[in-house]
Amino acid sequence: MAHNKPDPAGLKLRLVAAQRLKAVLAGDNFVPLTAADLADGRDRALANRLITTALRRQGQLNFIIHALLEKGMPGKSGTFEAVLRLSLAQLVFMPEIGAHSALFLAVEAVKRDPKARHLSGLVNAVLRSAQANSAKFGMLSDDLLIPDTFGDTWLEAYGEDAINGFSTALLDGAPLDLTLKADDADLKDALGAETVIADTVRIEQRDRPVDALPGFAEGQWWVQDAASAIPARLLGAKAGGRVLDLCAAPGGKTAQLVKAGYLVTALDSDANRMTRLKENLTRLNYQAETIVADAGTFAPNSPYDGVLLDAPCSATGTFRRHPEVIWHRSVGDVAGRVRLQRALITNAFRCLEVGGALVYCVCSLEPAEGEQQVQWALDTLPGLELWPVSKDELPGLEIAVTDRGLVRTHPGMAPGGRDGGMDGFFVARFRRR
């Protein structure tokens, strides 16, 4: 007999959230739910908050699950793990929502999944145990937030104070940073934005989607983290020169280079991402040549006065926005990226005019993808020399410039003294002798 009882309130958002979290746990990047996933705005906001809390607290949830699941996570159990993590996140780290819904809706959600329904008793027992111990679990050390894969390397590279800042940044998430086309006090007021460094402004709290913010339709700014906006500012190629932006999509750095007055060629291997870059430039009323090609083999008709290479990397520096990235990456992933970056640096150098400037950057916190690549490039490419960045080129962020003239940002830094941190980025600037 078909049951026509309406679903309990809150069940749908939990089912949708569990499917999205399950995909992320399997290796997908987290993309926030949209109106197409959940029409009700409040349901959608809560579902996204449950998922992001489960992802930001993943290390602590791993500890809790290990403590409560004596036999470990059952295999081939559908959405069981995702439902469990969402409910634990609510019980332990979002107590203001109330425990009853976490318990009741978790059992209901598991019952709706044919591959998990035999575990409805287990999920109930585990969550009741978590509820009884929620005060203890809520005081777990923030040291658990950063996986061992990276924790030791980062501790050595950045020190304990910085790592504490990483944990705070991971839990807080990222504010919205914009790069302005022009310095416009009225626009900043309308956006509720504060200047961070140079032409980067920050919006701490926003109640509207990006495309509904003042100035979007008029093309007065583009979204770009404060750290991501640094490399293009440092290129220093000759005024009005031809510059090549390698791995250019989605186009924030391309827009900066156009704004700086260069004749820009933007190159990316992904046709879909290049379409997005073109749409972004059109909205900004900026012009650039666009090429879909492999940055490792591209051979220009004539060399460029400047090349900006934002190389594919482990992206560990973006964990404020993508907390899953530090759990998805392995040491082997980093090694593979290092090899790819070397091929791209080599070709970027080939594309460079004598006397031209090359900026290499990655949104990674791994020294292997940053500082160690500089030494490799200088040892391997005859005619390439380091062009050190000086502290006075980054007012408000002098702390990011190393003694060697390299730039290293991390999520524990306060650009321009502002709260909210910034992405982890590495930038090195070279010249061709």
Strands (E), 26-181: 176-180
The pair of structure tokens assigned to 4 is 């026509």
pLDDT reported for residue 1: 46
Same domain, 184 and 239: no
Is residue 300 within 8 Å of residue 351, measured between CB atoms?
A: yes
Residue 3 has pLDDT above 60, yes or no: no
Q: Measure the CA–CA gap between 291 and 346, rounded to whole angstroms.
A: 19
Query: Could you give the number of structural domains in the chain?
Result: 3
Segment 130-186, tens digit of pLDDT: 999 999 999 999 999 999 999 889 999 999 999 999 999 999 999 999 999 999 999
Q: Is 6 within the bounds of a domain? A: no
Same domain, 243 and 331: yes
Same domain, 378 and 287: yes
Residue with tokens 């591959």: 115
The pair of structure tokens assigned to 268 is 């990316």
Residue with tokens 């306060």: 414
Segment 340-367, tens digit of pLDDT: 999 999 999 999 999 999 999 999 999 9
CATH code for position 122: 1.10.940.10
Distances (CA, A) of 346 to 46, 76, 297: 47, 45, 10
What are all long-range contacts of 30-37, with beta carbons under 8 Å and residues at least 24 apart?
30/55, 30/322, 30/323, 30/324
Give the residues across from 425 on adjacent strands: 409
pLDDT reported for residue 204: 85
pLDDT reported for residue 318: 97
The pair of structure tokens assigned to 236 is 């220093």
Same domain, 89 and 183: no
Please give the angle made by the CA atoms of 191, 320 and 406, to the nearest 5 degrees. Answer: 95
Q: Is 380 within the bounds of a domain? A: yes
Same domain, 314 and 238: yes
Specify the 3-state DSSP secondary structure of 243. strand
Full residue range of the structural domain in which residue 92 is found: 11-140
Q: Is 37 within the bounds of a domain? A: yes
Same domain, 381 and 295: yes
Q: Beta strands 263-268 and 289-292: pairing type?
A: parallel
Among 222, 243, 271, the domain boundary falls at 222
Among 88, 106, 140, the domain boundary falls at 140
Who's near 314: CB < 8 A, 6+ residues apart? Answer: 325, 329, 333, 334, 337, 364, 366, 369
Same domain, 75 and 97: yes
Q: Which of 368, 362, 361 is nearest to 333 (CA)?
A: 368
Specify the 3-state DSSP secondary structure of 40. coil
Who's near 267: CB < 8 A, 6+ residues apart? Answer: 244, 245, 246, 247, 248, 290, 291, 292, 293, 295, 298
Sign of the CA dihedral with 105 first, then 42, 194, and 221 last: positive
Same domain, 205 and 305: no
Same domain, 355 and 206: no
Longest dimension (CA), the chain: 81
Q: Which of 273, 263, 283 is nearest to 312 (CA)?
A: 273
Torsion of CA 283, 289, 292, 297, to 10 degrees: -140
Same domain, 254 and 213: no
Among 169, 204, 222, the domain boundary falls at 222
Told to judge if 313 belongs to the known catalytic residues of this protein, a careful annotator would answer no
Catalytic residue among 313, 351, 361, 363: 363
Is residue 173 within 8 Å of residue 320, measured between CB atoms?
A: yes
Q: Is 147 within the bounds of a domain? A: no
The pair of structure tokens assigned to 276 is 């997005």
Segment 178-222, tens digit of pLDDT: 999 999 999 999 999 999 999 999 998 777 889 999 999 999 999
Q: Measure the CA–CA gap between 378 and 43, rounded to whole angstroms.
A: 53
Q: Is 148 within the bounds of a domain? A: no
Please give the angle made by the CA atoms of 74, 43 and 139, to the nearest 5 degrees. Answer: 55
Q: Is 4 within the bounds of a domain? A: no
Q: Is 213 within the bounds of a domain? A: yes
Direct distance between the N- and C-terminal alpha carbons of the chain, in angstroms, rounded to an integer: 81
Residue with tokens 């109640």: 207
Burial label for 66, CB within 10 Å (0-12, 13-18, 19+), is exposed
pLDDT reported for residue 340: 98
pLDDT reported for residue 96: 92
Task: Give the chain's mean pLDDT.
Answer: 96
Burial label for 145, CB within 10 Å (0-12, 13-18, 19+), is buried
Same domain, 104 and 189: no
Is residue 429 within 8 Å of residue 383, measured between CB atoms?
A: no
Q: Is 2 within the bounds of a domain? A: no
Segment 291-306, tens digit of pLDDT: 999 999 999 999 999 9
Residue 2 has pLDDT above 70, yes or no: no
Same domain, 337 and 243: yes
List phi, psi (to 5°) of 289: -75, 135
Eight-state DSSP code of residue 404: T
- Global pTM? 0.95
